[in-house]
Amino acid sequence: MTWMLTNWVERRASREQHLANAAEVWRKAQAAVSHASDSLRRYYSAVATIRVIKQSADELVIAISRSSSGGTTERAAGASDCLICLNFSSKNLQIDVTSNRGRHERFPIEADCDHAYLSSQGRELLYDEFSRVVLEDSFFSLSGVVVTKRDPAAVLEYVNELVRALDSERDCTRAEPSTSRGNERGAA
pLDDT by residue (tens digit) across 14-31? 999 999 999 999 999 999
Going from N- to C-terminal start, the domains of the chain cover 2-140, 150-188
Helix (H) or strand (E) holding 49: strand 49-55
User: Residue 130's beta-bridge partner residues?
Assistant: none
Cα 17 → chain centroid: 29
Q: Residue 133 and residue 118: Cα distance in Å, rounded?
A: 12
3-class DSSP state of 22: helix
pLDDT at 59: 96
pLDDT at 98: 95
pLDDT by residue (tens digit) across 58-113? 999 999 998 655 444 334 444 568 999 999 999 999 999 999 988 899 999 999 98
Q: Does the reported pTM lie above 0.75?
A: no
141 DSSP 8-state letter: S
How many distinct helices (H) and strands (E) make up the chain? Answer: 4, 7
User: Residue 97's beta-bridge partner residues?
Assistant: 86, 105
Closest C-alpha to 138, from 73, 86, 93, 87: 86
How many other β-carbons are positioned within 10 Å of the β-carbon of residue 139?
A: 21
Closest C-alpha to 57, from 33, 30, 36: 30
pLDDT at 149: 54
